[in-house]
Each structure stands twice: as structure tokens, then as C-alpha cells.
Amino acid sequence: MNSTLHWSRRPFRGQHRVADAFGRVAEWVTAGRGISHPYPGVELETRLHDRLQRQMWAGTYETHVRSCLETLIDEGETILDVGAHIGVHSVTAAFLCGSRGRVAAFEPDPDLHRQLRKNLAQFPWAYAIYAAVWERSGDICFERSATRYDSASGTVVDIQDQGKGEIVRVPSIAIDDWAAKFGLGRIGMIKIDACGSEAAILRGAIGVVGQHQPILVLAFNGDIPIAAEANPLAALDLLAQLGYSVFRLSWQYVETWNAARHHAPCEILCLPAATEIHALSKLARAGFVLAT
């Protein structure tokens, strides 16, 4: 038996607690398999034993990121999802860019990659790639999440060696190398959620970022204990050098980035100069409040 759910379009106070409670009940009823329908004719399959996947099933996971993608992705674009997990944002991107676009979703955890591949199978123009995106291509050690109840804490060992999860050797890919090999249309957006690897990933994507000037959505955690050379602020410094403006993205707000105030975990929206005004106008029309 599956538990099928259609996503709400609006966040609400306490949504994660409600999603968790319903997800735990659904897990018991359905032997752990949940199906949600984020868009007409689209399915997302989840495993309800996992806290984050319960939020994904209920449509309460990173609703501000989903709204940002829905506002800024155009049909026919190529979208890269780095650290795609089971594909909650990849599915959104594939639905929005349509069959004239492309989605490349990268995930190094073998179990999550299998779920990702299954969720993207409904979109022939979307590809699930088993790899850790990094500053160079080859292979690398990846520490999987240490608990089956929180699947999002896996990390490249060079960034964090937590000493708790299973270590697996996985392919590593630099985006510049990958793009040169496969050839791409216009890359409109890159979403990166890689538990501290963001600076290294961007160092391996300088050519693509410089050529395509994509919108970037980055997970940021200034408190995470990682190797000094991987300081997340280094990623923002690099983007500033490339002419990007940086904003903190939340449920209601797009705020000008302030390192002194915004060190806690959050999502960051990085806009190239050529499209910044247009993107901010679209976000304002979609209901985001622009703030300094």
C-alpha cells in the first residue's frame, strides 16, 4: 500500500511537525513507502522512515527553494542539481524546464542515487548521475549518513571526516570537465547542497559559471566544522569576483547578504549582474519581499 499526497502550495507555521506526525502514521500503514504528487501527472517516491523524506512527501521541505525554482527556471534551460538527494528539487526543475530542457542531478550516496534515478525516470530529459561533484574529476571518499533516519548528512571525507558513517569510494566530477565532455545548452541554474563542499565545487566550475552566468542556489552553513580551505565564505568570495550579487533566501524574503548576520544555516541566492534586476523583479511578483 502507498500513501499518496498532493502538495500544498503555501507554507504554514508548524508545518514540519505536522508533516512528521502524518509521515510517521503513514509509514506504519504503508510499510514506509510514500508517494506525493507535486505537479499534475508527476510523482515523487519517498521512504517515510527518513525525517527529511517525510517532509518531502508532505511538500514542506525547503518550500522557499521550491518557490524560487518555480519563479526563475524557464522552459528549455539546462539545470544542474548538485547534491540532489532523492530528487525533490530535480523533479521540480525537470517539470519546469520541460522536454526542450535538460536536468543533470548528481548524488554520491548509492541508496539515494537509486531513489533519485527512479524519481527522474518519468522525465526522459533528466539524468541521475552517480558522483560527488568536486574541484577535480577522478574518485573520492564519501562518508554516508550514519543513521537511516537522517539521510542528508553524508559528506566528502576531505571536507568532514565524522568517523561515524560507512566510507565508500565514489566517482568525482568537476563540472567544467563534465560540461566539456557532454556539451550542454544554456545552463540557467545550478543548485548546490553538498555539506561544505560548495567552495571546491565552484572551483571546478569556474569555466561553466563564467561562460553561462547561471543563477546559483547554495546551501550555506557558517557553523559547520569543516576543513579551513573549504570555508563556505570562500565560495561567496569567489562568486563576488565573478560579478555575482549574493542574497539570503528564506520563506518570505530575499535579503542582501550580510556575513555578520547570516552565518546560521540558510540558502543563498547568487545572481549574475546581467540578469539580477529581472530575477529580483520576478521574485517580487511571486511574493518574495526584497530587503537589505
* pTM (2 d.p.): 0.91
* Same domain for 120 and 70: yes
Output b/e per residue, 252-274; b: 16+ Cβ within 10 A. Answer: eebbebeeeebeeebbbbbbbee
Bridge partner residues of 266 (DSSP): 220
- Cα–Cα distance for residue pair 177/187, rounded to 1 Å: 15
Taking 50 as the pLDDT cut, the residues of the chain under it are 1-2, 228
Q: Which amino acid is at 253?
A: Y
Q: Phi and psi for 114 in degrees, rounded to 5?
A: -65, -40
Q: How far is CA 279 from the centre of its chain?
A: 19
- Cα–Cα distance for residue pair 30/1, rounded to 1 Å: 5
* Same domain for 66 and 108: yes
Helix (H, G, I), strand (E, B) or coil at 96: helix
* Same domain for 92 and 163: yes
* Same domain for 79 and 139: yes
pLDDT on residue 184 = 75
Residue 253 DSSP class: E
Of 41, 61, 81, which residue sits at a domain end? Answer: 61
* Same domain for 67 and 39: no
Domain that holds residue 34: 1-61
* Same domain for 155 and 21: no
Tallying the residues shown for the chain, one arrives at 292
* Same domain for 72 and 2: no
Total tally of structural domains belonging to the chain: 2
Q: End-to-end distance of the chain based on CA atoms, in angstroms?
A: 49
For residue 92, which of 111, 112, 110, 71 has the smallest C-alpha distance?
Answer: 71
* Same domain for 188 and 261: yes
For residue 232, which of 219, 246, 217 has the smallest C-alpha distance?
Answer: 219
pLDDT on residue 195 = 82
* Cα angle 128, 212, 221; round to 5: 65
* Same domain for 127 and 183: yes
Of 38, 61, 84, which residue sits at a domain end? Answer: 61
pLDDT in tens, 18-62: 666 565 566 556 667 899 999 999 999 999 988 899 899 888 899
Question: 114: left (phi > 0), else alpha (psi -120 to 50), else beta?
Answer: alpha
**Helix pair angle (63-72, 88-97), 10° resolution:** 20
pLDDT on residue 178 = 95
Residue 63: enclosing H or E segment and its boundaries? helix 63-72
* Same domain for 282 and 189: yes
- Which CATH number is 163's domain given? 3.40.50.150
- Cα–Cα distance for residue pair 195/226, rounded to 1 Å: 9
